Amino acid sequence: MKIALVNSCRYIGGAELWQVRFARFLKSRGEQVKFYLRPGEFSGLVIKEGFPVKEIRMAADLDFFSALKFYREFKLFRPEVVIFNDQRDLRLGAIAAKKAGVPLKIQVKGASFLKGSFRDKYYYGKIDVVVCVSKAIENLYAQKLQLDSSRLHYLPNCIDPERFRNPDRGALRKKIGAGDDEVLLGMSGRLVEPKRQGDLILAAKTLRESGHKVKVLLAGEGRHQNALEQLSKDSGLAGRVIFLGFVHEIEEFLAGLDVFVFCSEQEGMPIAVLEALASGTPVVAASIPGVEELIESGKNGLLYPVGDVPALTERIESLLSGKISGADLGRAAQQRIAQNFDERKIFEGFREWLAQRSSKG
C-alpha cells in the first residue's frame, strides 16, 4: 500500500508521535509512506526519521493554494489511503483527496472538539471513515454527525510496552540533582491551559506545606509556560518546579518519578497516560472519558474529579504516606497495558483493516 499521512500541527504531541510510530511500523511491513506536513518542529522530526516529507503551508482553512497543492501531490503519489490528523488538514485535503481519486480517506481523531455544525458535516462528508481512539469519541461522532457504524472505526491508542522494561530509575534524579529524600511529581504534555499543569503546582504547594519535600517536573513545551512559571513563583515553589522542555527519553523521565500526575480536562485516549501506566510508576489522573477507559481507580491507578485540587492532593498524599501501595498499582497497570494496548498487535490489525477497506474503493 501507499499511505499518505497528513498533519497541519507544527508542534510535537501525542498524535504526532503516534503518526511517526505507525509510519515506522508500516515501513517495517514493506508499505510505502509519505508525510504531508506544515513546516515546523514536527516536520523537522519526521525528516530526521528519514521519511519522505512534502511541506505544505496550510496557512488557513481557506488556503486555496495549499488545497491545490494537495490535489497535485495526491495525483503524483497515488496513495490508496490518506490519513488526516487535524481539522485544518482535513478541510484543506479532504476535497483534494476525493477529486484525486484516493480510495480510502480517513481521519484519526484523538480529541473531542466537535460542534456538529454545517461545516463539520460538509467536510466529514468528504471522507470515508472517522477512526476514533476512544469509545467516548466514537459516541460523540455518532451523535453529532449522525454517522452510522460503517463510517466509524474504534482504534485505541497504543504503545510499545517493551520500551518501558527495566529502565534506570535513578537516572532522572541524578540528572536534576535531586536528593534521595525528595519526592518527584511529574506530568508530560503540551504546556497549554486545557492540560491544567497549574493544578499540579497548586497541589505541590499544599504537599510542601504539610512537610513533603516535593519537586514538580514538567515535560513539554507550549505557550502557557510563562504563566506556569509565574504561578510557581507565586506559590513559593520557584526552583522546585522544573521545566524540562520536550523530553526524548520519556522512559527515563517516567521511571524516575515517584508519582505521575495527569490533570488535563479534555483528551481522547492520552498517550502520556498510556506511557506512564506502562512504566509502572503510580498514576493519579483526572477522571475524564478517555482516561476512564485506561484506569480503574484503586486498581491500576487513582482518579480524581478534574479541576479538584484538594482531591488531587489527597490522592497523591495517599501514595506518599503508603496508605495505598503505588507498587501494586504500577504492577496492575503494566499488566493491563501489555494485554490490551500493545502497538504491535493494534497496528497490525489496523494495517490489515486499511488494506481491506481501501481495496473496496
- For residue range 157-178, list pLDDT tens digits in order: 999 999 998 888 999 999 999 9
Residue 142 contacts residue 152 (beta carbons within 8 Å): yes
Instruction: Please state the length of the chain.
Output: 361
The grid coordinates of residue 151 equal 463510517
Domain 161-340, classified CATH 3.40.50.720, yes or no: no
Sorted by where each begins, the domain ranges of the chain are: 2-158+342-360, 161-340
Would you give the distance in Å from CA 277 to the centre of its chain? Answer: 14
Q: How many Cα atoms within 13 Å fall on the side-chain side of residue 274?
A: 27
Distance of alpha carbon 191 from alpha carbon 195, whole angstroms: 7
Which strand ranges, in their side-by-side order, compose the sheet holding 129-132?
A: 53-55, 32-37, 2-7, 81-84, 104-109, 129-132, 152-154
Which residue(s) pair with 217 in the sheet?
186, 242
pTM: 0.86
pLDDT of residue 328: 98
**E strand segments, 85-180:** 104-109, 129-132, 152-154
Cα distance between residue 89 and residue 42, in whole Å: 14
Query: Nearest-CA neighbor of 281 among 147, 186, 194?
Result: 186
Residues 6+ apart with CB under 8 A from 187: 195, 197, 200, 216, 217, 218, 219, 220, 260, 261, 262, 263, 272
3-state secondary structure of 218: strand
pLDDT tens digit sequence for 74-124: 999 999 999 999 999 999 999 999 999 999 999 998 766 778 889 889 999
What is the pLDDT at residue 14? Answer: 81
pLDDT value at position 321?
A: 95
Task: Compute φ and ψ for 158, nearest 5 degrees.
Answer: -155, 165
Residue with cell 491500576: 300
Over the range 288-303, which residues count as b (16 or more CB within 10 Å of their CB) and which as e? bbbbbbbbebeebbbb
Q: To which CATH superfamily is domain 2-158+342-360 assigned? A: Glycogen Phosphorylase B; (3.40.50.2000)
pLDDT of residue 248: 87
Nearest by Cα to 289 from 137, 116, 156: 137
Give CA–CA dist 187/264, Å, rounded.
10
pLDDT along the chain (361 residues), means of 10: 96 88 97 97 96 96 94 98 95 96 92 80 93 92 90 95 90 93 95 96 97 96 95 96 93 97 93 96 96 96 98 98 96 96 96 93 63
